[in-house]
């Protein structure tokens, strides 16, 4: 049911960063100051726009899969991947997917002409962010909303 998320002053995430299975979330652009992700970045769902304008360091794997057309985002992030670049780990980015999946899944294209799939490997290994990212983001949200 999440339709938007905005943390404009967030600059660092110490571990993995995961946004998954939010079918109403069409755009991931509420992190304009995010510079560092200490682990993997794993976005999958139904979005068509992703923007992380300040990102300068993703220390783990990068997985972005969507049912939407994310060709522009894939091209942008692909240029940031490589062992000595912004994205240090395995790079996967695929749009127009039948069933977009989390880190470690193989993209399944719907066969439309708008799909974009790109994977590459580097020396950094893939990271499983399934539980650590949820706990990390939960901690961030709890701190912001005073739940702790």
At 64-93, the pLDDT tens digits run 999 999 999 999 999 999 878 999 999 999
- Is residue 4 in a domain? no
CA distances (Å), 79 to each of 25, 85, 99, 103, 120, in order? 25, 9, 25, 20, 12
The fraction of the chain above a pLDDT of 70, given in percent, is: 73
Q: Which residue has the higher pLDDT, 33 or 113?
A: 33
Domain membership flag for residue 5 = no
Q: Is 56 part of a structural domain of the chain?
A: yes
Our count of domains for the chain comes to: 1
| pLDDT confidence of residue 56 | 97
Strands (E), 1-148: 12-13, 17-20, 27-28, 36-37, 41-45, 49-50, 57-58, 62-66, 91-94, 117-120
Contacts of 64 (CB under 8 A, 6+ apart): 41, 42, 43, 44, 50, 70, 73, 74, 77, 92, 93, 94
27 Cα distance to chain centroid: 12
**Residue 146 CB: number of other CB atoms within 10 A?**
6
**Does residue 148 sit within a domain?**
no
Per the domain annotation, does 37 fall within a domain?
yes
Q: Which residues pair with 41 in a beta bridge?
A: 17, 62
Mean pLDDT of 122-148: 46
- Spatial CA neighbour of 132 closest among 102, 109, 97: 102
Task: Name the pTM for this structure.
Answer: 0.74
Domain containing 44 equals: 12-143
Task: Identify the pLDDT of residue 116.
Answer: 44
Residue 2 lies in a domain: no
Q: Which helix (H) or strand (E) holds 130?
A: helix 130-144
Across 20-29, 118-127, 139-148, the highest mean pLDDT is recorded for 20-29
- How confident is the model over 98-117, as pLDDT tens digits? 888 887 778 877 554 344 44
Q: Is residue 36 part of a domain?
A: yes
- Does residue 137 lie in a domain region? yes
């Amino acid at each position: 049911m999440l339709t938007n998320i905005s943390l404009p002053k967030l600059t660092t995430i110490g571990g993995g960063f995961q946004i998954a299975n939010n079918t109403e979330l069409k755009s991931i652009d509420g992190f304009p100051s995010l510079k560092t992700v200490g682990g993997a970045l794993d976005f999958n769902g139904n979005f068509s726009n992703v923007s992380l304008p300040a990102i300068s360091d993703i220390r783990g794997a990068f997985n972005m899969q969507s049912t939407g057309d994310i060709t522009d985002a894939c091209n942008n992030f692909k240029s940031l991947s490589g062992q000595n670049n912004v994205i240090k780990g395995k790079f996967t980015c695929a749009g127009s997917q039948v069933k977009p999946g989390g880190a470690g899944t193989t993209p399944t294209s719907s066969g439309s002409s708008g799909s974009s799939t790109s994977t590459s490997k580097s020396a950094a290994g893939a990271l499983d962010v399934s539980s650590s990212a949820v706990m990390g983001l939960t901690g961030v949200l709890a701190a912001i909303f005073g739940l702790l």
